Homo-oligomer: A and B are copies of this chain.
Amino acid sequence: MRLKDLAEHLGLSQTTVSRALNGYPEVKEATRRRVAEAADQLGYRPNASALRLATGRSGAIGLVLRGADELGPHMSEFLSGLGARMASHDIDILVTTVASQQEELAAYRRLAASQKVDAMILHSPTLHDERAELLFELKTPFVLHGRTYIDKPVAWLDIDNTSALERATSHLLDLGHRRIALVNGIRGRTFAEHRELGYLAALSARGVAFDRALMSNSAFTDEVAFRIAQAMLELRPRPTAFLAGSMMTALGIFRAIRQAGMTLGIDVSMIAHDDVFPYLNADNMYPSMSTTRSSIRQAGMRIGDLVLQVLGGKPVDAVHELWPVELVLRESSGPAPLF
C-alpha cells in the first residue's frame, strides 16, 4: 500500500493525500478526515526509506556501544528510558556495537556519512573526548551523557558526581572513618575523575591525608571489584569503609568483606553509587545498602528530550543539565569500628 495507491483509491492526488496526512493547513477538513479514515482503514504507513530520502531526516538516533564493556546493565536501563521517550516521537534507536577503539571512531564516521541517524548520543566521555571532537567536525548533532572539556559547544546532561562523592565521603568521616577506600571507574572517564575530585575535596576539608593505595580505577564488574577489595582489606591498617562506583562493584566488595570474615555495616562500611536497576534493589539487600542514587533511566528519558531540542534547532550551548544526586543512608554505613 503506497501513497500512490491510497491516492488513487481516494480519487485524489498524492500531493493532497500527503498533505492531509501530515497536517498541512491547506487541505479541506472534510478531505482530511476522509483521507485519514482511508489510511487507517487500509493500514497505510509511509515507506520509511522514501520518507527519509525525501525529507533528508532519517528519523533515527544512533548509539555506538563498546562491546561488553559498555553494554552492561547501565546501558540497558538508559536505553529503556531513552526508548520510552523516543517511541512517542516515532524515532528509532540505532544501536551499533564495536569491539575496539579503532572500530569505534570508524563507526561514528560511517553513521554520519551514510546519514543513517539524525543525531547521536555519547556515553561515559573522557575528560577530552575524541568522539565528541569527531562528531563536531562531522557536524553531526549529539548529546553527551556526562561531560567533556573540549573547546567546542556541546550539549550535555550529567549528574553531580563531585558533590555526590564529597557528601558520601564527608558522611563516612562524620562516622569516624579515616581509612576510606575509593573503588572508582576507569581512569580518564570524566565521571570517575569528578568523583575522585569530590572524594579528595572531602578528605582535605577535614585535613585527612589521602592514600593512593586506597584508590583504584577499573571497570565496574563484580569480579574486578572483588579482587581489588580483597587486596585492600589485607592492608594494615585496613580500610574501614568503601566507596563503590556501582552496584556491581558493591557486590564484589561485599563478597570480599564476607570472605574476610567481616560484617558489612559493622566491621566495614560501604556507600555505593546506585543507578537504580529494577532487578537489584539497594533497599532490599542484606544488609541494605547506603547509596548515592540517581536514576540512569530517568537520564535516558531526559536525554531523549534534549536530543529533540537540539534537532529542533536549540543552540547546543543552551542545552546543559546537571542533576543533583541523592544520598540515601541505610544499614551498610555505620560508625567506624574501634580497634
Residues of B within 8 A of A92 (CB): 94-96, 116
B96/A95 in contact, CB under 8 A: no
- Looking at A79-87, A166-174, A313-321, the stretch in contact with chain B turns out to be A79-87
Q: How many residues of A contact B (CB 8 A)?
A: 61
Residues of B within 8 Å of A259, CB to CB, are: 286
* Stretch from A125-133, A177-185, A217-225, A237-245 that touches the partner: A217-225
Q: Which of A30-38, A42-50, A267-275 lies on the face that meets chain B?
A: A42-50
Scoring A residues 211 to 240 as 1 if CB is less than 8 Å from chain B, else 0, what string do you get?
A: 000000001111100100000000000000
Q: Which residues of B contact A226 (CB under 8 A)?
A: 284
What number of copies of this chain does the assembly contain? 2
Q: Smallest distance from the beta carbon of A215 to chain B beta carbons, Å?
A: 21
Q: Annotate A107-119 by CB proximity to B: 1 below 8 A, 0 otherwise.
A: 1011001111000
Partner pick for A98 among B68, B87, B219, B285, CB 8 A cutoff: B87
Q: Is A10 an interface residue (CB 8 A)?
A: no
Q: Beyond the given A44-B113, A84-B97, A92-B96, please list 14 additional residue pairs across the A-B interface where CB-CB is below 8 A.
A: A47-B115, A48-B115, A49-B52, A65-B80, A71-B77, A72-B73, A75-B76, A76-B76, A83-B95, A92-B116, A95-B95, A221-B279, A222-B284, A223-B281
Which 6 pairs from chain A and chain B are nearest by CB? A83-B97, A45-B113, A49-B52, A221-B279, A49-B53, A48-B114
